[in-house]
Amino acid sequence: MKPINVGLIGLGTVGTGVTNILLGEKPVLEEKLECVPVLKAIADRSISAKAPKMNLDSSILLTDNPDDVINNEDIDVIVEVIGGTDTALNVVQKGLENGKDIVTANKELLAVYGTELFEKACQVGKCISFEASVCGGIPVIATLKDSLIGNRIKSIYGIVNGTTNFILTKMANHNVDYGTVLAEAQEKGYAESNPSKDVNGIDSAHKLAILAKLAYGLHFDFESIYCDGISDIQLEDICYANQLGYTLKLLAISKRTSLGLELRVHPTLLSHDHPLATVNGVNNGVYVVGDAIGQIMLCGPGAGGMATASSIVADIVDVGLGKAKPMFDNFRYFKEQPIDTKVIDILEISSRYYFHFIVADIPGVLAKISGIIGQNNIGIASVIQHEEIRHGGVPLIMVTHQAREGDVREAIGQIKKLEVVKGDVRFIRIEDTLE
Binding residues for ligand HSE, per CB under 6 A? 136, 161-163, 198, 203, 302-303
Which of 232, 221, 230, 273 has the alpha carbon at shortest distance from 249?
230
- Given a contact cutoff of 8 angstroms between Cβ atoms, the answer to whether 41 and 60 are in contact is yes
Catalytic residue, chosen from 107, 207, 249, 255, is 207
Shorter beta-carbon distance to ligand HSE: residue 302 or 393: 302
Shorter beta-carbon distance to ligand HSE: residue 113 or 166: 166
Shorter beta-carbon distance to ligand HSE: residue 136 or 338: 136
Task: List phi, psi (to 5°) of 22.
Answer: -75, -30
Neighbours of 171 (CB within 10 A): 23
Shorter beta-carbon distance to ligand HSE: residue 136 or 320: 136
Give the angle subtended at the CA of 66 by the CAs of 61 and 72, to the nearest 5°.
Answer: 55
Cross-strand bridge partners of residue 399: 354, 382
* Cα gap 172→114, rounded to integer Å: 36
- Given a contact cutoff of 8 angstroms between Cβ atoms, the answer to whether 299 and 286 are in contact is yes
Shorter beta-carbon distance to ligand HSE: residue 161 or 268: 161
Q: For the CB of residue 46, give the shortest distance to ligand HSE in the complex, in Å.
A: 21
Query: Could you tell me which residues come within 8 angstroms of residue 196 by beta carbon, excluding any fewer than 6 positions away?
Result: 202
Q: For the CB of residue 327, give the shortest distance to ligand HSE in the complex, in Å.
A: 23
Q: For the CB of residue 274, give the shortest distance to ligand HSE in the complex, in Å.
A: 20
* Cα gap 358→23, rounded to integer Å: 60
Q: For the CB of residue 252, give the shortest distance to ligand HSE in the complex, in Å.
A: 11
Tell me the H-state helices in 296-426.
Answer: 305-320, 324-330, 332-335, 365-375, 405-416
Q: Is 294 left (phi over 0), alpha (psi -120 to 50) or beta?
A: left
* Cα gap 166→241, rounded to integer Å: 18
Q: For the CB of residue 64, give the shortest distance to ligand HSE in the complex, in Å.
A: 25
* Cα gap 224→209, rounded to integer Å: 10
Distances (CA, A) of 100 to 16, 29, 52, 80: 21, 22, 28, 12
Answer yes or no: 325 catalytic: no
Cross-strand bridge partners of residue 290: 153, 294
Q: For the CB of residue 132, give the shortest distance to ligand HSE in the complex, in Å.
A: 9
Q: For the CB of residue 184, give the shortest distance to ligand HSE in the complex, in Å.
A: 14
Shorter beta-carbon distance to ligand HSE: residue 76 or 203: 203
Shorter beta-carbon distance to ligand HSE: residue 72 or 106: 106
Residues carrying an active site annotation: 207
